[in-house]
Amino acid sequence: MAFYVAFGLLWFGAAEVLAPHWVDDPVALPGLLRWKTYIFVFITGLLAAWQVRRMMRAEAARVATMQEFFHIVRHAPVGIARVEPGTGHVQWANGRLCRMLGLTLQELALRDFRALAPSRDEGEAQEQMRRLLNGEIDHYQNQRTVRNAENGRSATVLCTVAVVRNNHGTPMLVHVLQDLSEIEAARQAMDYSTQQLRLALDGSGSGMWDWDMERRRYTFSDGVAAMLRYTGKDLAHDVRFKELLHPEDREQVHRAVAQALQTGALFEVTARVRCFDGEYRWFQARGTRHLDAQGRVLRFSGIFTDQTEHRREQDRLRLAATVVDNTMEGVVVTDSQSLILSVNPAFTRLLGYTEQELLGRTPRAFKSGRHGQAFYQGMWQALNQTGHWRGEIWNRRKNGDIFPERMSLSAVYDAQGAVTHYVCMFTDISEEKAQQQRLEFLAHKDPLTGLSNRSWFGQELERAVQQARQGSEQMAVLLLNLDRFKDVNDSYGHLVGDEVLKHIARQVQGALRPGDMIGRMAGDEIIVLARELHGHGDAEEIAERLIRAAAQPWHSPDGFAVVVSVSAGICMFPEHADTTASLLQGAHAAVYGAKEGRGESSAWCFYDEGMTASARERIALEAKLRLAMGLGQMQLYYQPQVDIASGRIVGAEALLRWNDPQEGFISPARFIPVAESSGLIGPLGEWVIHEACRQAQAWRMQGLPEVSVAVNVSPHQFLLTDVAGCTARALQSSGYSAQALELEITESALAERPDEALAVLRKLRELGVRLAIDDFGTGYSSLAHLKRFPIDVLKIDQGFIRDIPHNGDDMAISRAIIAMGRSLDLQVLAEGVETVQQLDFLRSNGCDAFQGYLCSKPLPAAEFAALLAGSGGTARMVGHAVQPVALTADDPGTDSL
């Protein structure tokens, strides 16, 4: 209002003062002053309307608030009264207070509230009232006792007293009475319920847990502490479940808790917890979350149960059930009357009956009928005396098959010693019996052909020799070896090879005379003992007949035929040998003589003493070779390899030599085959590669002209040993350059197993080693395969060089090899060059290099080094009419060497 008056005075005063200054026309001045009045009235009207609207809204809000307060007070679960401070008269009371006192509102108005609800400590109440009325406190509480006028029951209430002022500013007291009897009854009921729950939990072996989310504190029942073996005073303070959980279970428990808190799902988890005695035990926790009115989690509680013994018992039962269900032995359980109660899956599998078919029946249902009454009487007598019986028994399957079992029958007794059940466990030993028969068969027979095996034939032959000595009988041992039987396996597969071998065995067996014996000695060898002979003629006749029988073709189901020829070695008793071992040895030697064409027939051969002598010589040579390798008698000689265009020595081929102290130099043609057949080629070839690399590196360190070194690799060494690994070790240990090392592999080694050869060559190429095909043109390699191989050099075999220029075929073959090598971008080197005419032919056809006696024979390492040092790396041709060209470092030709 003051603002409005001030605004009006300011408005009119300003208009009176300023209007004459703004308007110069005296006629217009009264109109301006009238507009001043209109505007003020308009603004005044707007302010009055706004003020009235505001007052109406405030009044409506006040009325709503009063109604809301009235309903709250009227229906509150506590008694409320407005009391005059001086007289104590009740001015107003709600329905709850009237019911509490058993009086109507009119009856209450006539009563003193202090008498209706007297304080237990009147002096304290008066002091609190004084402080309240003086404004020292805003309220106070005390306990009072009220009595219901209708039923006479007394109740303890909690009275809260506060001061409010009425419209006239007079202070009034508001008393709020809360009935504590209901709270006390609820508390007693809760205590009783809690006690009952605790007793129930303790009796069930469980405990209660509660997690207060706001206070972040656990509450546990006494049973939890006992389960955790806790002996302290405050389990809630000392327990750290995250640390006590087994590491393997922590993630599982964490996920379950998170899911229960987030979704409200039932929390249930079983995990291992380390108790306070240090031992892990299994516990099950079940619980749920509790939310407040706003949906926030207040508490998380549930029960805690020790599952350790339960799980152990479950594990034992599960293990026992698993053992019974999964054992290979059949299990039958009967009652004391032998009525079947249960069988396991193995039983149904072995006998063919389902469990339902046998329940309530006796084991007589699968009785075989093979055993007499005495057998069963003895079984039951042992069972009654000892409580168990073990043995073999025959039973019958559902399909009628009879089979042998190894059975164990045991009685189960109760606490009084009476039989309650019988448990029978049995194993089907049909396969075991069959295996025994197979072993007996294999002890005497070859499993593929059914013929006597080597051991049994040897025993039969020994018995026959003993009989022949006593009766002066002539006999012959004939060893039949299948020619090139490996080709049959390689061409058609081992399954076809086995069928062919069985066919030949049947044919040969069918061609025997009565009394003759037959056996299989090895993969492709069949041996025959022919008895009661009259001389060589009978043996020859039998050999011819057996060879013809073996040559009968085998026809496959697919329509093709396989024919295998046979070579036979014959050793006569007692003419050639008079013991079992010597007869077998002589037959072996004779069959190889037949393959070499040393017999009277191309297919068979009689034994003679020279055959075993050569075998003994090979064995002696092998022993001597082993000793020579250990004593360092092996040496490497080096033959120069010459570039034809420049005449420069560009390489050397390392050649193995054996200088025996007694025999002198032994030809490689003698000891290399022995090394290959005995397996010595592996360590011998490895020594050659290491020695060649070592020597070549030594020449390089001496400052001699650099040359490459070529090393021959035996086919056996190439295919059966780790050539790549050996080469890598030799290069690493010697420090020699891989690019200066050349390995020579024969054409036959590459053609025999092209895929394996390709894999080995690629490993060598990865090392950086140069690769050459030795003796090219003498094998049967495929040009398609040759194109796939990472080859650097082709070496023309000396057999094609020897007769040049006198043999046109050799010249044509050599010319073709050179042309093919140039077209494949390969270097071509000719071996065995001995004449100037041969060199001129090679030069005219574009051959790159040569080696042979025209330049030099193979030399020891020291002499080869002297040759390099003396010639400056340039070859001097024996008998060559042209003087060699001396190349210097400035000569452009050296860049291509």
pLDDT digits (tens, 9 = 90+) for 512-524: 999 999 999 888 8
DSSP designation for 884: P
Give the position of tokens 């009689």: 606
β partners of residue 163:
173
Residue 349 neighbours by CB under 8 Å, 6+ apart: 330
Token couple for 716: 């056996």
Are 278 and 284 in contact by the 8 Å Cβ rule? The answer is: no
CB atoms within 10 A of CB 546: 27
β partners of residue 342:
333
Q: pLDDT of 418-432, one tens digit each?
A: 999 999 998 888 888
Give the position of tokens 């006539």: 110
> Does residue 319 have a pLDDT over 70?
yes
Residue 393 neighbours by CB under 8 Å, 6+ apart: 368, 371, 404, 405, 407, 426
What is the spatial distance between Cα 580 and Cα 573, in angstroms, rounded to a whole number? 10
The alpha carbon of residue 488 and the mean position of all alpha carbons in its chain are separated, in whole angstroms, by 40
The more confident residue out of 769 and 322 is 769
The alpha carbon of residue 433 and the mean position of all alpha carbons in its chain are separated, in whole angstroms, by 38
Helix locations, 632-776, DSSP H: 668-678, 681-701, 715-720, 723-734, 747-752, 754-767
Are 781 and 747 in contact by the 8 Å Cβ rule? The answer is: yes
> Does residue 33 have a pLDDT over 70?
no
Strand, coil or helix: 813: helix
The more confident residue out of 3 and 159 is 159
What is the spatial distance between Cα 98 and Cα 108, in angstroms, rounded to a whole number? 8
Strand, coil or helix: 165: strand
Average the pLDDT over 777-791 and give the result: 67
CB atoms within 10 A of CB 463: 11
Phi, psi of 265 (to 5 degrees): -65, 155
Phi, psi of 518 (to 5 degrees): -140, 150
The more confident residue out of 596 and 585 is 585
What is the spatial distance between Cα 61 and Cα 374, in angstroms, rounded to a whole number? 112
Strand, coil or helix: 568: strand
Q: pLDDT of 401-415, one tens digit each?
A: 898 999 999 999 988
Q: Which pLDDT score is estimated for 573?
A: 93
What is the spatial distance between Cα 277 and Cα 229, in angstroms, rounded to a whole number? 6
The alpha carbon of residue 171 and the mean position of all alpha carbons in its chain are separated, in whole angstroms, by 89
Q: pLDDT of 499-553, one tens digit each?
A: 999 999 999 999 999 999 999 988 889 999 999 998 888 999 999 999 999 989 9
Strand, coil or helix: 436: helix
Q: pLDDT of 201-210, one tens digit each?
A: 666 668 888 8
Query: Angle at CA 417, nearest 5°, toward 391 and 374?
Result: 30
Helix locations, 387-511, DSSP H: 430-444, 454-471, 485-492, 494-510
**Which is nearest to 404 in space by CA: 436, 439, 378, 374?**
436
> Does residue 703 have a pLDDT over 70?
yes
Residue 454 neighbours by CB under 8 Å, 6+ apart: 519, 520, 521, 522
β partners of residue 156:
145
The alpha carbon of residue 62 and the mean position of all alpha carbons in its chain are separated, in whole angstroms, by 80
Q: Which pLDDT score is estimated for 710?
A: 93
The kind and range of the H/E element at 30 are helix 29-75
Average the pLDDT over 618-642 and give the result: 86
As a residue count, the chain comes to 897
Name the band, by pLDDT with cuts 50, 70 and 90, for residue 29.
low
Q: Which pLDDT score is estimated for 896?
A: 29
The kind and range of the H/E element at 800 are helix 798-801
Residue percentage of the chain with pLDDT more than 70 = 88
Phi, psi of 547 (to 5 degrees): -65, -40
Mode of pairing for the β-strands spanning 330-335 and 419-428: antiparallel
How many alpha carbons fall within 13 Å on the CB side of residue 137?
12
Phi, psi of 659 (to 5 degrees): -105, 95
Domain ranges of the chain: 76-184, 205-312, 330-434, 445-607, 633-865
Token couple for 509: 């067996």
- For 250, counting Cβ atoms within 10 Å of its Cβ (0-12 exposed, 13-18 middle, 19+ buried), the class is middle
> Does residue 243 have a pLDDT over 70?
yes
Q: pLDDT of 728-741, one tens digit each?
A: 999 999 999 999 99
The kind and range of the H/E element at 579 are none
Average the pLDDT over 554-562 and give the result: 86
Token couple for 52: 């009235």
Are 160 and 139 in contact by the 8 Å Cβ rule? The answer is: yes
> Does residue 57 have a pLDDT over 90?
no
Phi, psi of 274 (to 5 degrees): -80, 115
Residue 359 neighbours by CB under 8 Å, 6+ apart: 340, 341, 342
| Phi and psi based region of residue 338 (left: phi greater than 0; alpha: psi -120 to 50; beta: remaining) | left
> Does residue 897 have a pLDDT over 60?
no
The more confident residue out of 487 and 842 is 842
Average the pLDDT over 141-146 and give the result: 86
Token couple for 617: 């010589």
What is the spatial distance between Cα 332 and Cα 783, in angstroms, rounded to a whole number? 72
Q: Which pLDDT score is estimated for 546?
A: 92
What is the spatial distance between Cα 354 and Cα 541, in angstroms, rounded to a whole number? 66
Q: pLDDT of 366-407, one tens digit each?
A: 888 888 889 999 999 998 899 999 999 999 998 988 989 999
Phi, psi of 649 (to 5 degrees): -75, 115
> Does residue 894 have a pLDDT over 70?
no
What is the spatial distance between Cα 62 and Cα 167, in angstroms, rounded to a whole number? 14
Name the band, by pLDDT with cuts 50, 70 and 90, for residue 615.
low
Q: Which pLDDT score is estimated for 171?
A: 85
Task: Convert 639-659 to b/e letters by CB count within 10 Å (16 or more is b).
Answer: bbbbbbebbbbbbbbbbbebe
Token couple for 140: 């106070």
Q: Which pLDDT score is estimated for 893?
A: 31
Helix axes 430-444, 454-471, angle to 10 degrees: 50
Q: Which pLDDT score is estimated for 882?
A: 33
β partners of residue 796:
776, 830
Q: Which pLDDT score is estimated for 888?
A: 29
Q: pLDDT of 791-816, one tens digit each?
A: 889 888 888 888 888 888 889 988 98
Torsion angle of the four alpha carbons 2, 4, 10, 14, in this order, in degrees rounded to the nearest 10: -170
Q: Which pLDDT score is estimated for 465?
A: 92
Q: Which pLDDT score is estimated for 181?
A: 76
Q: Which pLDDT score is estimated for 841?
A: 92
Residue percentage of the chain with pLDDT more than 90 = 21
Q: Which of 61-65, 782-786, 887-891 has the highest mean pLDDT?
A: 61-65
Token couple for 560: 């093709």
> Does residue 304 have a pLDDT over 90?
no
Query: Angle at CA 223, nearest 5°, toward 218 and 224?
Result: 40
What is the spatial distance between Cα 425 and Cα 724, in angstroms, rounded to a whole number? 60
How many alpha carbons fall within 13 Å on the CB side of residue 323?
7
Q: Which pLDDT score is estimated for 891?
A: 34
**Which is nearest to 129 in space by CA: 159, 166, 101?**
159
Average pLDDT, the chain: 83
What is the spatial distance between Cα 409 and Cα 420, in angstroms, rounded to a whole number? 14
Are 473 and 531 in contact by the 8 Å Cβ rule? The answer is: yes
Q: 3-class secondary structure for 13-29?
A: HHHHHHHHHHCCCCCCH
The kind and range of the H/E element at 274 are strand 267-274
What is the spatial distance between Cα 322 and Cα 308, in angstroms, rounded to a whole number? 20
What is the spatial distance between Cα 35 and Cα 42, in angstroms, rounded to a whole number? 10
Are 586 and 477 in contact by the 8 Å Cβ rule? The answer is: yes
